[in-house]
Amino acid sequence: MGFCLLNNVAIAAAQALAQTSIGKVAIVDFDIHHGNGTEQIFLGDKRVLLISSFQHPLYPHCGTDPHAGFMPIPLGSGSSGKEFRAAWQDKGLPVLAGFCPDFVFFSAGFDGHRDDPLAGLNLVEDDYAWLTREVCRVADQTSQGRVVSMLEGGYDLAASGRSAAAHIKVLMNG
């Protein structure tokens, strides 16, 4: 139902789970759209946690019900970094820490940027850098710092480039 022909983060997570040293993985998905394909692929797999923040309501018009292995973080149109950060602080980060994954994957979509024409979130580069730092702190405590990031989306090239650079800078510098 999405824009992807292949689900890169799901392929990477499945490959990690095939390694004997990796028992659980977490996928941290921030994108304007709910990661419904990733949710469907790992539905019922207790080794995988998906935490997905997205604008709601918006296509694909699903993903608001939490269940084992899935923590949704729906954000209303017009939500700013303040709401984004509060939602992750209250819901996503505690669930991530409690899951204690062996590996953390980012499914990093920058189409929630305020300059992006596709939807209506008002995030900026610093919001993405903040979430990256917070998730990396959890990964340092639970996953020996094992983190991989996959680029997912963004339709304003300048905003996506600045956001991805902020995200990568945190990944490189801890």
pLDDT tens digits along 7-18 = 899 999 999 999
CA 107 to chain centre: 5
Tokens for 119, please give them.
Answer: 């939807």
Asked if 50 contacts 14 with a C-beta cutoff of 8 angstroms, the reply is no
What confidence tens digit (pLDDT) does each residue in 34-67 have? 888 899 999 999 999 999 999 988 766 666 677 8
Each residue's pLDDT, cut to its tens digit, for the chain (174 residues) gives 555 667 899 999 999 999 989 999 999 999 998 888 899 999 999 999 999 999 988 766 666 677 889 999 999 999 999 999 999 999 999 999 999 999 999 999 999 999 999 889 999 999 999 999 999 999 999 999 999 999 988 999 999 999 999 999 999 985
Determine the angle formed by the axes of helices 157-173 and 125-142, rounding to 10 degrees: 30
Strands (E), the chain: 25-30, 48-55, 70-75, 103-109, 147-153
Q: Taking all residues of the chain, what is their mean pLDDT, rounded to a whole number?
A: 93
Q: ω into residue 74 within 30 of 0, thus cis? A: no
Closest CA to 170 of 122, 121, 135: 135
Half-sphere exposure of 170 (CA within 13 A, CB side): 22
What confidence score (pLDDT) does residue 20 get?
A: 87
Asked if 60 contacts 34 with a C-beta cutoff of 8 angstroms, the reply is yes
Strands (E), 38-91: 48-55, 70-75
What confidence score (pLDDT) does residue 33 get?
A: 85
C-alpha span between 14 and 50 (Å, rounded): 13
- DSSP tag of 5: S
Q: Which domains does the chain have, with CATH numbers?
A: 8-173 (3.40.800.20)
Element (H, E) at 45: none
C-alpha span between 6 and 47 (Å, rounded): 21
